[in-house]
Structure 1
Amino acid sequence: MSGKGKLDKNNKYDRQLRLWGDHGQSALEQARVCLINATATGTEILKNLILPGTGSFTIVDGNKVSGEDVGNNFFLTSDCIGKSRAKVATELLSELNDDVSGNYMEETPESLLTTNPGFFGNFTLVIATNLCERTLLQLDALLWEKNVPLLVCRCYGFVGYMRLVVKEHTGEYTETQSSLKLTESHPDSAHEDLRLDRPFDGLVKYCDSLDLDSMDKKDHSHTPWLVVIYKYLQKWKESHNNEAPKNYKEKKEFKEFIREGIRKNEDGVPEEEENFDEAIKSVNTALVPTRIPSEASSLFEDPCCTNLTAGSKPFWILLRAVKDFTQKEGNGALPLRGTIPDMTADSKRYIELQNVYREQAARDVTVISHGVQELLQQIGKESCISEDDVKTFCKHAAFVRVLRCRRLHEEYNPKTANTQEIGSCVEDEENDLVFYILLRAVDRFYEEYSRYPGWYDDQVEPDVHKLKSILMKLLQEWSIPPTIKDDYVHEMCRYGASELHTVSAFIGGTAAQEAIKVITGQFVPINNTFIYNAMKQTSVTVKL
């Protein structure tokens, strides 16, 4: 790509690049997404994937556009009635972004699963909307074997549903990618990695080079608060058996100790020194002991990390190299993140302090890079991990997550179903998980009657009794008390499997968000079921 073309693309995708970076955008642009059924929900999902630049999409849909489609699907118009829904939706969606390639198959998923099942294995992600239970389980079995993530979505009246099925979400590497995709959790409230409890040589040398007592007024008030805490921490340790403040009482005393260091004017009134105020406010977080998070520790003991083979994913090789680092050079700590928070300081000293952390982080990356290459040689695998990959992994080492979802077959099998979680909602009338049970019941209804309850207006009342009977049998299979209110059953029949555009739009945005997490390998996807109640505008995420 030319320099101008790259600049234009950076401008076009500026906001999202700030969220998931160049490597996330690269993964998105190389992704191949398959949408099964161009329903209102399906097209809303694709819209939200096409706009940020997903590489290509393919719609699989053997239906013709109906009047009902036109009534609830923003991307279909009345002059489309009778035409291929896959073709029309593809043409209209493709207009949203010239960077994205759109294709379609005028065939039902049931037919493709029979005649060409390998077709679905060619995608980065498959999104299925409004599939019956039988077809869904067929697709689940196929994609699980192919290791292709599946995102199941549906809107049923005022109920929205999502289910993510991914065997192992750690990120993958291909030769066409510019960087490795990682499971970066992007935590909202992570402690800064400052190492004040175990300062590294570069930090010690830099802080010791500064003398607060001999500084003039300006320099004293513009010394980074991190240095201030370090200085007073050393003084504190001298009179406390070389121990840092640990409990609330000691930290309170330490804060007062720092406060006494604020310079006073000729009248004995403390000067305004914002850096000291910041230091006092930062004591609790700055003195959090450096430790390896429990999630990372548990992954260190995962068989995929301890038993590397030539078939191991780069994620596990990187994680093993980090583990080895923590046990040797890191002395029980992860590689330094290399970042510091913003703080009141003059530019010179802030940049100097920033460089101290960056240089130590770079040294850790170098050590781990050597470790990665040694591991690759040991398992006889060609080098597939770049220096940038190692750098990115080290920066997020404290936040890596591995997501392993259950198969739909396990969830739908009464012997392996999570009946304890499902049953808990029966006891709580306000729990939105009750709609999961009702959706399972309407799927059973469809299997028995080849239509959904309340599909025809004159069948709503008769279908209430039929659906309730099916619901009771389902609850009996799960050994759950039959205490779901009749009002819920009646409401599901009244919906008649209708899709409301407002609900579809909400699920479309939420599902696209989860799809991007899976594609880019960033943030933490749902595990594994999401239910949305549009009547109350509430939702629940549960592992089933």
Structure 2
Amino acid sequence: DLGHFFSTYSLVVAADLAYGPVLQKVASACYSAKVPLIVCRINGLFGLVRIIAPEHLIENSRDGVDSKQLSNLCLSDPFPELVEYAAKFDLDALDDFSHKHVPYVVLLVKASMEWKTQKGLLQIVERRDVEGIRELLQSWRRPHEEENFDEALRKAYLVMFSPERNVLSSEAFDGRKGEDGKGPSSSLNRSFWLFVASLKKFVEEEGRLPVSGKLPDMTSDTESYVGLQRIYQSKSRKDAEKLASYVDRIAHETRTETMSAAQVQYFTNLAPYLSVQR
């Protein structure tokens, strides 16, 4: 049986195999066995690669974006440690040098918190509120050039951006897929589906995605940036520990192999960008 034969492999590559009955049989057998098939053809300087598989799991759907920029900064709903850190910056008391090196994350947290207090809001859900926050930031600027405020103005949309909504509506969370850590091709993608199942439990419990612990580049002095980085990394470790407990529990319940702490942290960093194509 051709399907049984290909099921012993994790990947099949067909190089310069002409389109016809043979390739169709190979593709059908691989598809039934849930084994990805890569078809490669070349003609002079022209090359073609096709992937045939029941599903394609994408760990990072932001192709072409530097991994350092893939950060869940939690600006739409800042966690207590981040709010406490931002509160330490008294903008009026800072000298000009320090003022123009306050990280834009701190500026956005302070501006969004003040705006929500002024308007009696729990969340920023309207674009007009984002524009109000931009105006508030402009009022805090000083006459000289301040790149950190330019960055805050460009990133102000993040105060109403909730990445968990994007993930929860993706196919990774569709129906029963991933609920028990067993996706449709679990033998090949066990770690992905186990994490998806655990992530779903985490989001149901916490109402948000885990913090990645990564910070993008930004205008800042070293002390402020390192301090902010420590806040995010500490929160990320706590979230990863909680996720790991879900991973271990689901792995035990489904009698599948669990994930290492490094694997959990890896997927945690990319949680907002997981995707599935079928």
Query: TM-score if structure 1 supplies the norm length?
Result: 0.45
Contact 2:17 2:23 in 1 (8 A): no
Residues 152, 192 of structure 1: CA spacing in aligned structure 2 closer, same or farther, 3 A cutoff?
A: same
Matched, 1:135 2:15: no
Contact 1:123 1:148 in 2 (8 A): yes
| Corresponding residue number in structure 1 for 2:60 | 184
Secondary structure of 1:303's partner?
coil
- The structural deviation recorded for 1:391 is 0.8
| Corresponding residue number in structure 1 for 2:50 | 163
Q: How does 1:468-507 map to 2 (within 5 A)?
A: none
| Corresponding residue number in structure 1 for 2:266 | 392
Give the letter aligned to residue 300 of structure 1.
Answer: F
Contact 1:295 1:401 in 2 (8 A): no
Secondary structure of 1:305's partner?
coil
| Corresponding residue number in structure 1 for 2:193 | 316
Contact 1:236 1:244 in 2 (8 A): no
Contact 1:221 1:274 in 2 (8 A): yes
Secondary structure of 2:26's partner?
helix
- The structural deviation recorded for 1:296 is 5.5
| Corresponding residue number in structure 2 for 1:234 | 113
Contact 2:137 2:153 in 1 (8 A): yes
Q: How does 1:410-489 map to 2 (within 5 A)?
A: none
Matched, 1:251 2:126: no
Alpha-carbon distance in 2 for matches of 1:345, 1:142 = 56
| Corresponding residue number in structure 2 for 1:334 | 209
Contact 2:170 2:276 in 1 (8 A): no
Alpha-carbon distance in 2 for matches of 1:284, 1:245 = 10
Contact 2:70 2:216 in 1 (8 A): no
Residues 252, 191 of structure 1: CA spacing in aligned structure 2 closer, same or farther, 3 A cutoff?
A: farther
Contact 1:292 1:334 in 2 (8 A): no
Alpha-carbon distance in 2 for matches of 1:274, 1:138 = 59
Q: How does 1:229-308 map to 2 (within 5 A)?
A: 229-242=108-121, 246-263=125-142, 270-294=143-167, 297-308=170-181
- The structural deviation recorded for 1:369 is 0.3
Residues 280, 118 of structure 1: CA spacing in aligned structure 2 closer, same or farther, 3 A cutoff?
A: closer
Alpha-carbon distance in 2 for matches of 1:224, 1:162 = 44
- The structural deviation recorded for 1:354 is 1.1
Alpha-carbon distance in 1 for matches of 2:255, 2:9 = 28
- Which residue, 236, 251, 259 being the options, matches 1:376? 251
Residues 242, 191 of structure 1: CA spacing in aligned structure 2 closer, same or farther, 3 A cutoff?
A: farther
Q: Using the aligned pairs only, state the percent identity.
A: 27
Matched, 1:125 2:12: yes
Alpha-carbon distance in 1 for matches of 2:180, 2:220 = 48
Secondary structure of 1:164's partner?
strand
Runs of at least 5 residues in structure 2 that lack an aligned partner in the other structure: none
Runs of at least 5 residues in structure 1 that lack an aligned partner in the other structure: 1-112, 171-181, 264-269, 405-544
Aligned residues: 270
Alpha-carbon distance in 2 for matches of 1:188, 1:132 = 32
- State the Cα deviation string for residues 178-213 of structure 1 (Å, max 9, x = none): xxxx63324446874221221102101211222222
Give the letter aligned to residue 396 of structure 1.
Answer: L
Contact 1:169 1:183 in 2 (8 A): no
Matched, 1:148 2:35: yes
| Corresponding residue number in structure 2 for 1:38 | none
Matched, 1:202 2:81: yes
- State the Cα deviation string for residues 301-354 of structure 1 (Å, max 9, x = none): 3433124569942322211111000011x22x1111222221111101101101
Q: Superposition RMSD on alpha carbons, in Å? A: 3.1
| Corresponding residue number in structure 1 for 2:102 | 223
- The structural deviation recorded for 1:256 is 2.4
Residues 145, 159 of structure 1: CA spacing in aligned structure 2 closer, same or farther, 3 A cutoff?
A: same
Residues 168, 253 of structure 1: CA spacing in aligned structure 2 closer, same or farther, 3 A cutoff?
A: closer
- The structural deviation recorded for 1:229 is 1.9
- The structural deviation recorded for 1:156 is 6.5
Alpha-carbon distance in 1 for matches of 2:232, 2:83 = 11
Secondary structure of 2:140's partner?
coil
- State the Cα deviation string for residues 215-239 of structure 1 (Å, max 9, x = none): 2232222211211122222222222
Alpha-carbon distance in 1 for matches of 2:221, 2:94 = 14
- State the Cα deviation string for residues 444-463 of structure 1 (Å, max 9, x = none): xxxxxxxxxxxxxxxxxxxx
- The structural deviation recorded for 1:246 is 4.8
- Which residue, 355, 359, 371 being the options, matches 2:230? 355
Alpha-carbon distance in 1 for matches of 2:45, 2:220 = 54
Contact 1:194 1:286 in 2 (8 A): no
Give the letter aligned to residue 184 of structure 1.
Answer: N
